[in-house]
Amino acid sequence: MMMRATHSIRAIATHLGRAPSTVSREIARHTVDPIKGYDAGLAGYRARLTRHRPRQRPKLHP
Protein backbone atom coordinates (compact mmCIF):
# COMPACT_ATOMS: atom_id res chain seq x y z
CA MET A 1 0.00 0.00 0.00
CA MET A 2 2.80 2.40 0.85
CA MET A 3 4.64 1.39 -2.34
CA ARG A 4 1.66 2.48 -4.44
CA ALA A 5 1.61 5.81 -2.60
CA THR A 6 5.24 6.30 -3.74
CA HIS A 7 6.79 6.29 -0.28
CA SER A 8 10.52 5.70 -0.21
CA ILE A 9 12.04 2.47 1.04
CA ARG A 10 13.47 4.39 4.01
CA ALA A 11 10.03 5.76 4.91
CA ILE A 12 8.49 2.28 4.71
CA ALA A 13 11.32 0.83 6.82
CA THR A 14 10.90 3.53 9.47
CA HIS A 15 7.16 2.93 9.59
CA LEU A 16 7.66 -0.85 10.00
CA GLY A 17 10.57 -0.52 12.41
CA ARG A 18 12.94 -2.43 10.12
CA ALA A 19 16.22 -1.69 8.41
CA PRO A 20 15.97 -0.20 4.90
CA SER A 21 18.14 -3.04 3.56
CA THR A 22 15.61 -5.60 4.85
CA VAL A 23 12.72 -3.84 3.12
CA SER A 24 14.73 -3.45 -0.09
CA ARG A 25 15.68 -7.15 -0.07
CA GLU A 26 12.06 -8.19 0.52
CA ILE A 27 10.82 -6.03 -2.34
CA ALA A 28 13.51 -7.31 -4.71
CA ARG A 29 12.89 -10.93 -3.75
CA HIS A 30 9.12 -10.82 -4.26
CA THR A 31 8.65 -8.46 -7.19
CA VAL A 32 7.89 -10.59 -10.23
CA ASP A 33 6.67 -8.04 -12.73
CA PRO A 34 8.24 -4.55 -12.60
CA ILE A 35 5.03 -3.01 -13.93
CA LYS A 36 2.77 -4.57 -11.28
CA GLY A 37 5.31 -4.17 -8.48
CA TYR A 38 5.37 -5.92 -5.13
CA ASP A 39 2.53 -8.35 -4.34
CA ALA A 40 2.14 -9.15 -0.62
CA GLY A 41 -0.08 -12.19 -1.31
CA LEU A 42 2.49 -13.67 -3.65
CA ALA A 43 5.27 -12.85 -1.18
CA GLY A 44 3.50 -14.75 1.59
CA TYR A 45 2.88 -17.72 -0.68
CA ARG A 46 6.51 -17.86 -1.79
CA ALA A 47 7.75 -17.49 1.79
CA ARG A 48 5.64 -20.47 2.87
CA LEU A 49 7.06 -22.53 0.01
CA THR A 50 10.68 -21.70 0.78
CA ARG A 51 10.72 -21.65 4.58
CA HIS A 52 13.09 -24.02 6.28
CA ARG A 53 11.60 -27.03 8.00
CA PRO A 54 13.19 -28.75 10.98
CA ARG A 55 14.58 -32.23 10.51
CA GLN A 56 12.11 -35.04 11.09
CA ARG A 57 14.84 -37.40 12.34
CA PRO A 58 18.06 -36.57 14.13
CA LYS A 59 21.28 -36.88 12.14
CA LEU A 60 22.81 -39.28 14.64
CA HIS A 61 21.07 -42.07 16.45
CA PRO A 62 21.45 -41.96 20.23
Phi/psi class of residue 55: alpha, beta or left (left: φ > 0; alpha: ψ in -120 to 50)?
beta
* Range of weakest confidence among 4-8, 13-17, 26-30: 4-8
Per the model's pLDDT, the better-predicted residue between 18 and 28 turns out to be 18
Q: Where are the domains of the chain?
A: 9-50
- Give the model confidence (pLDDT) of 22-36 as tens digits: 999 988 888 877 777
When pLDDT is averaged across residues 41-57 and rounded to a whole number, the result is 81
